[in-house]
Structure 1
Amino acid sequence: MAQKGLGAGFNTSPAADGVWINLKDAGAIAFLCYLSGAAGDTYTLQEAKTSGGTGAQNLAIVTEYHTCTGDGTDTWTRRTQAAAATVVTAAAATQNAMVVEVLNTSLSDTYKYVKLTSTGAGTVNALTHNLMTQRAAANLPAMGA
């Protein structure tokens, strides 16, 4: 039987460019990024101990990400790289949209927060999933708390 996803399967923060997101109640986070115009962008992943950025450091664990045009006309293309804290999308329409996922087990000990920051004008939507506690959307905790 189908059910609504917000609260049961995921939580989201659509304006998450450079925003610390708490992973203590989620198994993973997917960052959904978009920059139109085949401009290309660089996204940097960091981790911290608190929502204020205490102990902030680059999280060099990205080995895989996916790209597409973002308009629904094509499928996702899997891309790989050596472990890094950055993802660089090419100046090509087929890389306007980018998704990178981070498991909470990838964070360093005592670190609970992650953020992805665009160096250009790309938008970043944070979508936590594999929620530890499922609840009604109105009862979800703030993602940065």
Structure 2
Amino acid sequence: MCLGIMTVPIINKVILGWVAFGAGFAVAGGFIAFISLIGIVTRLAGLTKTADAIPTYENSMALGLIFFNLVSLYQPDLQWISYTAALSIINIVGLFTGIFAGCLAGALAEVVNIIPIFSRRIKLRKGFPYMVKAAAVGKCIGCLIQFYIF
């Protein structure tokens, strides 16, 4: 059976779309597995004393990854949004992205145990919480400079 000249590009686009969509889900699934492996969700739930909400946190993270996978794949046209609303949305997304990046960096540093090793090498006995807070503030200021100035 001959498919015709016009249907071949459509079939190619459909196949390419499904491969890209599947690859995005595979990357998102691997990312969720990585985040779960290093224990960000459980650690934050333990610190905030909300361990009963861990499934909600994990579902929210999965839905966020799926949503932004779709947004990056289809790139919706948002010209109808006012300039002020767009800035508000960008700031909110940037805030949560910064929080997530900070938590990820903190979890990776904790997994590698870099902070205790560093504190022993420089013989830091007092002020350990201030060192951690200074690193977090420095990371925040660095991200702000990178995103808003450069």
TM-score above 0.5, yes or no: no
Q: Please state which band the TM-score falls in when normalised by the shorter chain.
A: under 0.3
Structure with higher RCO (Cα < 8 A, 6+ apart)? 1
**Going by fraction, where is helix more abundant, 1 or 2?**
2
The two structures have a TM-score, normalised by structure 1, of: 0.19
Q: Which has the larger radius of gyration?
A: 2
The two structures have a TM-score, normalised by structure 2, of: 0.19
